[in-house]
Amino acid sequence: MSLAVVFMYLEGFFLLYFVMLYSGYLMLNVLSIYAVWQYMQSHSINSMPQLYSGLEPPISLLAPAYNEEASIVDSVNALLQLNYPEFEIIIINDGSKDETLARLKDAFDLVEFPEAYRRRIDTKEVKKLYVSRTHTNLRVLDKENGGKADSLNAGINVSRFPLFCAVDADSVLQRNSLEKIVQPFMDDPTTIAAGGTVRIVNGCTIERGFLVKAALPRSFLARIQVTEYLRAFLFGRLGWSPLNALLIISGAFGLFHKETVVSVGGYLTDTIGEDMELIVRLHKVMRKQKRKYKITFVPDPICWTEAPEDLATLRNQRIRWQRGLSESLINNIDLLFARNSGFVGWLAMPYMLFFEWAGPFIELTGFIMVTVGFMSGYLSWEVSSVFFMVAIAFGMLLSSVAVLLEEMSFKIYPSFGYVFVLLFMALVENIGYRQLNSYWRIVAMYQWIRGKKATWGEMKRGGMGV
């Protein structure tokens, strides 16, 4: 068999892969557009006051904190101002080496409280529990360092309410975020988890811990991520939600039924993707037990978080995400094609394995092989053009549709100039940036296969509103 024929077969395989990939995206797009239409119909801005206003179940807000001395007081003050009938805030100081705990003591007049600690989920040693004399719904848990998952487990152990909301201590919630994210639990009592939208705060104006003006980042790299997040949340997660096949709820903002999470053992502490792993495990256990349940995504409640603005930090983040994806899928691989696993086992798991887990290797190899085939003369200009049109142009189209869907529905960004910039980013994202991400994700897979220990890395922050 000649090299020309080999290259033709390879190009055919990679072309088929991208056709299947974008067909999956198209399916999610259709489901997402329908879901947004339904959501907007039932949550009109001009509608009457909420039926459940004031009757919502109480929520425990869990916020792990490690070396957050610069922002922890502002973050807690913002959480204290959330609009919700009844909630408690539990800050888990995860063995911080800076003045995080001292800042909390001074700002909120913390005193040690001899409360019994019920260890329903095993965690690192809890040193002390503090309560605030100025805010009766604020408690601070001081414990040995064990990581985010261990901190959340400790927070679950001391929480008092039936629902808990896991948030990042450095993220920004909208005042009505809890009111909106709790709705699935009130509409359907079988709901065990709900996730909200995460958006990029870089460039926005923050006052007293709340976003007062949405804007785009100044950084080119962060602007590309805005478009990336829009596509991931408005299409990816919103598309899987109607099928009850959502496999991830962001660790920055998720609401859970506490007893269900405790029954499956809480968060795993030996994975770097504890947020996704918990959701996949919840699906697996509930399906095995043949229990009726719902895991859903709500597009309106928003959590704003800071995005990396330098390549080194972004690289570490994407490697971490891919490692978390690998661990979450492989640890729960018995969900794949399992009996009674529904859409999650027969559609979402294969999709994630083939297009998200193995996808970076296939995509990058495809670009390299077709480029080499064209440069060496084994593939014609016409054949190569078809491949790149499918691989790149369709990606641009889908990202652009995500931007337009945002503008037609939630309209977070106030001017057409912002929309124009995001549409431009939707085009350039697929030329270079996507391929660079694929390379980083391949590095993550290589490290995971070799058994290299995963680390969080250091997040360089520019500061909220910068």
Q: Give the sheet arrangement for strand 138-143, strand by strand.
A: 110-112, 126-132, 138-143, 87-94, 59-65, 163-167, 253-257, 191-200, 294-305, 172-173
The range of the structural domain enclosing residue 266 comes to: 1-41+190-466
Predicted confidence at residue 43, as pLDDT, reads 66
Indicate whether 94 belongs to any domain: no
Residue appearing with tokens 């709500």: 298
In the three-class reduction of DSSP (H, G, I as helix; E, B as strand; rest coil), residue 378 is classed as: coil
In the three-class reduction of DSSP (H, G, I as helix; E, B as strand; rest coil), residue 466 is classed as: coil
Predicted confidence at residue 9, as pLDDT, reads 85
Predicted confidence at residue 465, as pLDDT, reads 43
CA angle in degrees (0–180, nearest 5) for 135-139-141: 160
The answer, as to whether pTM is greater than 0.85, is yes
β-sheet bridge partners, residue 378: none
**Percent with pLDDT over 90 in the chain:** 60
Indicate whether 456 belongs to any domain: yes
pLDDT greater than 80 at residue 159:
yes
Predicted confidence at residue 134, as pLDDT, reads 96
What is the b/e burial string over 177-199, where b = at least 16 CB atoms within 10 angstroms of the residue's CB? Answer: bbbbbbbbbeeeeebbbbbbbbb
| Average pLDDT, integer, range 30-34 | 85
**Percent with pLDDT over 70 in the chain:** 94
Indicate whether 194 belongs to any domain: yes
Indicate whether 346 belongs to any domain: yes
Indicate whether 26 belongs to any domain: yes
User: Left (φ > 0), alpha (ψ -120 to 50) or beta: where does 53 sit?
Assistant: beta
Predicted confidence at residue 115, as pLDDT, reads 77
Who wins on pLDDT, 61 or 463?
61
**8 A C-beta contact, residue 130 and residue 222:** no
Predicted confidence at residue 220, as pLDDT, reads 94
Indicate whether 15 belongs to any domain: yes
**8 A C-beta contact, residue 284 and residue 291:** no
The CA distances from residue 150 to 67, 95, 361, in Å, are 16, 11, 32
| Average pLDDT, integer, range 147-171 | 94
Predicted confidence at residue 46, as pLDDT, reads 42
Tell me the range of 173-182, 231-240, 328-337 where mean pLDDT is highest: 328-337
| Average pLDDT, integer, range 244-256 | 94
How does residue 466 score in pLDDT terms, banded at 50, 70 and 90?
very low
How does residue 44 score in pLDDT terms, banded at 50, 70 and 90?
low
Give which of 100, 85, 179, 186 is closest to 137, Cα–Cα.
85
Indicate whether 290 belongs to any domain: yes
d(CA 151, CA 362): 37
Task: Count the domains in the chain.
Answer: 1
How does residue 145 score in pLDDT terms, banded at 50, 70 and 90?
very high
Indicate whether 161 belongs to any domain: no
pLDDT in tens, 123-142: 999 999 999 999 999 999 99
Predicted confidence at residue 38, as pLDDT, reads 80
Give which of 178, 273, 221, 234 is closest to 25, Cα–Cα.
234
In the three-class reduction of DSSP (H, G, I as helix; E, B as strand; rest coil), residue 139 is classed as: strand
Name which of 114-128, 140-154, 259-273 the model is least confident about: 114-128
| Average pLDDT, integer, range 10-32 | 88
